[in-house]
């Protein structure tokens, strides 16, 4: 086991960021709702964390500290780059920080590991729709126009697929806990 005292600053920072990246990334994604934008805000957050790492109080959880910085970076990003995008109140983003931080780290990794099997169970048509919406990062109206469907119908399909996947993950995790 490595002794923290002997690790240099950069390695300690990398370890902490890698350890908490899943929940940090998900929190930013929940605030900005676009994968490319989430990547940008994540990069800016990581740089800001690195710059302030000397002031980090190691008695506090790294995740809460990093999410606090991410919350600020996301708010700045939304204010300057996506003014027309509807967003949560400041009070809620602060409360949401705790909700994401309280997700057990094992559960986060279990959920990630379980998802591919659940996606495999979808129909080809449903997977194709997910690719249209998630890979191309198109909004629902654009996807609907491309597919010759209504926005409402595409929204309903996405809702149904997300719920199927969410329920599938919940079932599999519950099953593995029982075992």
Positions touching other proteins (CB under 8 A) are 23, 25-26, 29-30, 33, 35, 38, 85-86, 88-89, 91-92, 95-96, 98-100, 102-103, 107-108, 110-112, 115-116, 119, 123, 125-126, 130-131, 133-135, 139-140, 148-163, 165-166, 169-170, 173-174, 177
User: Least Å distance between CB 58 and other proteins?
Assistant: 25
Could you tell me where the DSSP H helices lie in the chain?
9-32, 35-51, 62-81, 90-101, 105-120, 124-130, 140-147, 151-178
User: Least Å distance between CB 35 and other proteins?
Assistant: 5
User: Least Å distance between CB 98 and other proteins?
Assistant: 8
User: Least Å distance between CB 139 and other proteins?
Assistant: 5
Distance CA 10, CA 53 (A): 9
Our CB check for other proteins shows the closer of 52 and 159 to be 159
Our CB check for other proteins shows the closer of 59 and 125 to be 125
User: Least Å distance between CB 34 and other proteins?
Assistant: 8
Our CB check for other proteins shows the closer of 52 and 163 to be 163
Our CB check for other proteins shows the closer of 9 and 137 to be 137
Residues 78/85, Cβ–Cβ less than 8 Å: yes
Distance CA 116, CA 121 (A): 9
Q: Is 52 helix (H, G, I), strand (E, B) or coil?
A: coil
Our CB check for other proteins shows the closer of 51 and 121 to be 121
Please state, in angstroms and as integers, the Cα–Cα distance from residue 118 to each residue in 14, 70, 101, 114, 129, following that order. Answer: 31, 30, 25, 7, 15
Name, in order, each residue with C-beta under 8 angstroms of 36's C-beta and a sequence gap of 6 or more: 137
């Amino acid at each position: 086991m490595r002794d923290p005292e002997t690790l240099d600053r950069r390695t300690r920072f990398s370890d902490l960021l890698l350890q908490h990246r899943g929940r940090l990334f998900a929190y930013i994604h929940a605030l900005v709702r676009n994968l490319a934008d989430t990547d940008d805000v994540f990069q800016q957050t990581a740089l800001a964390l690195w710059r302030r790492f000397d002031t980090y109080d190691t008695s506090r959880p790294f995740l809460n500290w990093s999410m606090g910085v991410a919350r600020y970076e996301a708010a700045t990003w939304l204010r300057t780059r996506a003014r027309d995008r509807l967003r949560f109140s400041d009070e809620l983003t602060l409360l949401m920080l705790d909700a994401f931080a309280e997700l057990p780290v094992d559960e986060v990794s279990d959920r990630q590991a379980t998802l591919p099997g659940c996606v495999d169970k979808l129909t080809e048509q449903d997977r194709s729709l997910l690719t249209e919406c998630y890979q191309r990062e198109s909004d629902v109206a654009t996807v609907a126009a491309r597919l010759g469907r209504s926005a409402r119908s595409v929204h309903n399909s996405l809702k149904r697929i997300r719920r199927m996947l969410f329920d599938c993950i919940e079932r599999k995790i519950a099953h593995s806990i029982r075992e």
